[in-house]
């Protein structure tokens, strides 16, 4: 196969020299962007428009999780703060195997983890940018919960940055969008009086230990309130440039889980002089150990910390 390149601002961002996974009818497969537990993600380009997309692929025999993600994304149509799904397609690799492909929106700004930890100061320099990304993530969570789902794995790596607008000065402003619904699940119907979900028999937690809520670790209980705890962890990470729980390098998963599930600890907040009162208040609304005291995404959309409409102007 001939090499194909696409340049952006003078840099080659797409190149195909050897394609073993197969192209689609209307798109070419590009370089590997990353691998996860449920498949590999490639850069793709639409043949007619040269627009970039992301293609999540796996052998069709192991495609159950990606197909479930496709089903869940069908409920997210119309929300501008959740990754868009453009459809699915089956291709054939160089060995004749069938490959299931999920065609997704491409985040040219990378993911939120890279924005935080690969910045010059390993953190966001302006709280206004944190507030804006928090606002857009909240909008996405509110929609997810409204249609009856729980994400279960909200973390900076699962939030992409997509161009939103170009300012009068020519700078590109990004919006945060929630992606990777491979672990998402249906939410329980909760008694509105108690606001407290009940643990389901035999439930076990799913997701990433660093962002799990106390009820997830202790009871395997993950409902919208658990996503809100994870959001607090993500916002804290944006503000400080550090993971929400501080441990020595190389500490195992069990130590993290014990800290969350067997103590009364919450992630340590920055000193008062380091963040605004609004930021501190918002974090406290998310990081409450008692689930019935934790605020919902819909309620927090009215919090002064997220009363913003961009961060460059």
A 10 A CB-CB count for 92 gives 13
Integer Cα distance of 275 and 278 in angstroms = 8
CA 142 to chain centre: 14
Cβ neighbours for 8, distance < 8 A, ≥ 6 positions apart = 108
**Helix, coil or strand: residue 73:** helix
| Cα 157-108-102 angle, rounded to 5 deg | 70
Active-site option among 23, 153, 180, 227: 153
153 as an active site residue: the answer is yes
**Cβ contact 87:56 at 8 Å:** no
Cβ neighbours of residue 54 closer than 8 Å, sequence gap 6 or more: 33, 41, 42, 43, 44, 103, 104, 105, 106, 107
> Do 190 and 196 touch, CB atoms closer than 8 A?
yes
> Residue 56, annotated ligand binder?
yes
Take residue 137 and report the two structure tokens written for it.
């993530």
Is residue 123 within 8 A of residue 240, CB to CB? The reply is yes
For residue 208, give both structure tokens: 């990433």
Question: Which SS3 state, helix, strand or coil, does residue 87 take?
Answer: strand
Nearest to 42 by CA among 117, 106, 134, 87: 106
Catalytic residues: 153
Residues annotated in a binding site for ATP: 56
Please give the annotated binding residues, written as ranges.
56
């Amino acid at each position: 196969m001939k090499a194909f390149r696409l340049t952006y601002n003078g840099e080659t961002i797409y190149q195909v020299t050897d394609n073993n996974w197969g192209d689609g009818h209307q798109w070419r497969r590009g370089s590997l962007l990353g691998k996860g537990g449920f498949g590999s993600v490639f850069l793709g380009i639409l043949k007619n428009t040269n627009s970039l997309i992301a293609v999540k692929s796996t052998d069709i025999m192991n495609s159950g999780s990606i197909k479930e993600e496709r089903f869940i994304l069908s409920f997210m149509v119309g929300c501008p703060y959740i990754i868009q799904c453009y459809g699915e397609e089956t291709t054939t690799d160089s060995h004749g195997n069938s490959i299931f492909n999920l065609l997704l929106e491409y985040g040219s700004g990378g993911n939120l983890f890279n924005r935080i930890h690969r910045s010059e100061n390993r953190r966001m320099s302006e709280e206004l940018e944190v507030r804006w990304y928090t606002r857009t993530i909240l909008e996405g969570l509110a929609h997810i919960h409204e249609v009856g789902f729980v994400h279960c794995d909200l973390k900076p790596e699962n939030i992409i940055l997509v161009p939103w607008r170009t300012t009068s000065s020519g700078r590109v402003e990004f919006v945060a969008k929630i992606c990777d619904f491979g672990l998402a699940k249906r939410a329980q119907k909760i008694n509105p009086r108690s606001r407290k979900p009940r643990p389901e028999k035999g439930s076990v937690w799913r997701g990433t230990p660093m962002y799990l809520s106390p009820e997830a670790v202790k009871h395997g209980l993950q409902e919208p309130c658990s996503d809100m705890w994870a959001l607090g962890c993500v916002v804290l990470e944006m503000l400080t440039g550090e993971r929400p729980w501080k441990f020595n390098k190389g500490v195992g998963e069990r130590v993290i889980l014990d800290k969350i599930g067997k103590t009364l600890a919450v992630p340590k907040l920055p000193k008062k002089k380091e963040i605004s009162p609004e930021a501190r208040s918002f974090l406290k609304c998310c990081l409450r150990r008692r689930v019935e005291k934790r605020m919902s995404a819909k309620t927090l959309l009215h919090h002064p910390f997220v009363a913003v409409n961009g961060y460059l102007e």
